[in-house]
Structure 1
Amino acid sequence: MKIAVMGDPDTALGFKLAGAHEVYSFGSSPLEIERANNKLKELVERDDIGIILITETLAQRVEVPEVEFPIILQIPDKSGSRFGEAQLREIVRRAIGVELKR
């Protein structure tokens, strides 16, 4: 199974440098958002994609389908997470039962 990444140019570049093969970069114009919507639909329909990582900012602007597979995870972009640090800690604690401390 492959991991696909969708996000802004800076996030996409970071994942490309990290060795990700399926990386898609989108701007913020209406045409780019339409392209992102189409790409997300295409990725969801592919059998070889297991995880789709999409930046939180992009996920707010596209229609993210409610599917069980592939797994679609929202990730922070260069501007940080839309969730606060405390909320992220709580999400991790509930998900895996581990409390993160600094």
Structure 2
Amino acid sequence: MSQEIAVVGSPDFTTGFRLAGVRKFYNVESEDADELDDAVREVARDEDVGIVVMHDDDVAELSREPRSIVDTSIEPTFVTLGGGAGSGGLREQIKRAIGIDLMDED
């Protein structure tokens, strides 16, 4: 079972996670879309990674195939922060990752 957390994004975005102890990170220059696409493909193939954190603005910049990986991957689970990733988006990500809706009031 995959247990590591990885962070993909600009050095400014990944620094806080690195200081918090995240050991896997992929620094990507914001103006290089191909580098971002490659980082997503690489982290998706890493069998040690269970959760990938990305900024919502970076996800919006992905090309079609890496974007599909982020949107459909179960393991690793991609979690987006910032931008348009409001509580509804995070709720859907958690539901997809664990298979149940923790906020379901039925």
| TM-score, L = length of structure 2 | 0.69
Q: How far 1:10 moved relative to its partner?
A: 1.4
Q: Matches of 1:91 and 1:82 in 2, distance apart?
A: 10
Structure 2 CA distance for partners of 1:50 and 1:89, relative to 1, 3 Å = closer
Root-mean-square deviation over aligned CA pairs: 2.5
Q: Matches of 1:21 and 1:82 in 2, distance apart?
A: 26
Structure 2 CA distance for partners of 1:38 and 1:90, relative to 1, 3 Å = closer
Match of 1:52 in 2: 52
Q: Structure 1 stretches (4+) deviating beyond 3 angstroms?
A: 89-92
| TM-score, L = length of structure 1 | 0.72
Greater percentage in helix: 2
Any unmatched runs of 5+ in structure 1? Answer: none
Q: How far 1:11 moved relative to its partner?
A: 1.3
Any unmatched runs of 5+ in structure 2? Answer: 96-100
Q: Matches of 1:90 and 1:55 in 2, distance apart?
A: 13
* Matched residues, number: 89
Task: Select the residue among 4, 19, 22 that pairs with 2:21.
Answer: 19
